[in-house]
Amino acid sequence: MDNSARQDFSASVLEFRLPDLGEGLADAELVAWEVAVGDTVELNQAIAEVETAKAVVSLPSPFAGRVVELLARPGDTVAVGAPLIRVEQAARPEETTRETGRASVLVGYGPEEEATSRRRPPSEQHRVSPPAEADTELREPERPGKALGETRPAATPAARKLARELGIDLWFIAGSGPGGAVTLDDVRGAVPVSQPRPVGPADAPAGTALPSAREERTPISGIRKRTAAAMTNSARTIPQAGAFVTVDCTASMELLDHLRSTKPFAGLTLTPLPLVAKATLAALADPPGMNVFWDEASGEIVTKHYVNLGIAVATERGLLVPNIKEAQTSSLRDLTREIGWLAETARAGRATPADLRGGTFTITNVGVFGVDAGFPLVNPGESAILCLGSISKRPWVVRDEIAVRWVTTLGVSFDHRVIDGELAARFLTTTAGFLEDPLTLLSRV
């Protein structure tokens, strides 16, 4: 397009609505704005951070232009499809996209080729150690896990055609069609608007009552709010039972001491948790039946032949449960690297929604806090969770004599609708057996 054609095209005000981030949630909380009214933004420039599904996601601008209006305040809960920001754009949308040569992509989402370039398969040559401590605030650790590339957004052919003509990125439109597909009306609703809606100053502080000298009130929001909703749903909808077993894991602790000095584990922090995870994965395969899900809506029991192993991580912002995709294929070394990477990423606030969704079975380690045992609630969407207690030296009877041994307590909480007590007990004793005699895991390491 020549310069005269550019000049003939008058400036337009474009409205960016909160996109569907792919987690099946209806809203997100605005954490912070990265821009202010009057700022000039570029395509793909980070404009805001939102929190959803226990992750903070950076939203890039799908437009280039000048910020006209901010339509939400930090702390506000914004519905998917609701307007967030208005940008005055002087160039045609299709020109902006063509000149930059790339589309706007959310952190943790986007075209498959871009996602897979960041997250390579778990092979020796592709796995990269997390960055040095001095770099943790400057760049995101390269993930040593499986590729998590996303496919293109679902949309009707007519909607896709109109979006191309208007230069609108379908990733930023909340679909109202079957399965969340973007429809023609959805695309039409995303075209430039001419009249701004009256909204109060975006940077005005929300009115909050000052705490008294005797008590303090904190709004329930963010991770705490979502965790509370998930746990309330778990307790309300899943009839849960539990079982415990105490284990002599001296042989496992001796094996870990030996492995730490071997070349394959050089530079890795090998704790008991990866070995417990390996034992758990082996026990999930024999006997089968624990890696299932009670689908109330369809009236079906879903048996999963893969394990997305969730690892509960305590962070400053609350409890996060990222999961290792296809963990049943991972070696002990793979699990050591993955668990370390997930914990670091979650604590740094860089876990993506893709890291946090899709779990099938979870391990929580209360032993790191010096707790002997626990009875955790089952995560919604799963049917069981294993609890690892503290591993400490205790008196233990060995061949009718008292000896000092490394001992721990394992507990399992399970959905009693789909898992019977006998099955849960067999799973627990099988896991304990692997920890008592870890050499039986050698063929799986």
Q: What is the distance between the alpha carbons of residues 65 and 60, in angstroms, rounded to a whole number?
A: 13
Cα-Cα-Cα-Cα torsion 43, 45, 51, 57, nearest 10 degrees, comes to 90
Q: What is the distance between the alpha carbons of residues 275 and 103, in angstroms, rounded to a whole number?
A: 42
- The residue annotated as part of the active site, out of 126, 258, 305, 416, is 416
Ranges assigned E (strand) in 61-220: 65-70, 77-79, 83-89
126 counts as catalytic: no
Q: Which residues on adjacent β-strands are paired with residue 357?
A: none
Identify the residue whose tokens are 């070394």.
Answer: 333
Burial of 310 (0-12, 13-18, 19+ CB in 10 A): buried
Burial of 268 (0-12, 13-18, 19+ CB in 10 A): middle
Kindly state the greatest CA–CA separation across the chain: 95
391 touches 369 (CB < 8 A): no
49 touches 32 (CB < 8 A): yes
Q: What is the distance between the alpha carbons of residues 278 and 255, in angstroms, rounded to a whole number?
A: 13
Three-state SS at 130: coil
The residues assigned a catalytic role are 416
